[in-house]
Amino acid sequence: MKKIALYCRVSTNEQTTENQQIKLIEHANRMGWNYSLFEEVQSTTKARPIKSNLLQRLRKDEYDGIAVFRLDRYARSTTELLLEIQELVKKGIEFHNLSEQLDFSSASGRLHLAVLSVFCEFERSLLRERVILGQQRAKSHGKKIGRPKGITDKRKRKTDGYYKRGNRKSFMKEYQKNLPPNNYDFSNV
Alpha-carbon gap, residue 62 to 5, rounded angstroms: 9
CB 30 within 8 A of CB 22: no
Please state, in angstroms and rounded to a whole number, the distance separating the CA atoms of residues 170 and 159: 17
From the list 11, 99, 106, 108, the catalytic residue is 11
CA gyration radius, the chain: 25
Q: How many angstroms separate the CA atoms of 102 and 55, rounded?
A: 20
Of 28, 37, 33, the closest CA to residue 9 belongs to 37
b/e per residue, 19-31, with b = 16+ CB within 10 A? ebeebbeebbeee
Whether 11 sits among the annotated catalytic residues: the reply is: yes
The catalytic residue positions are 11
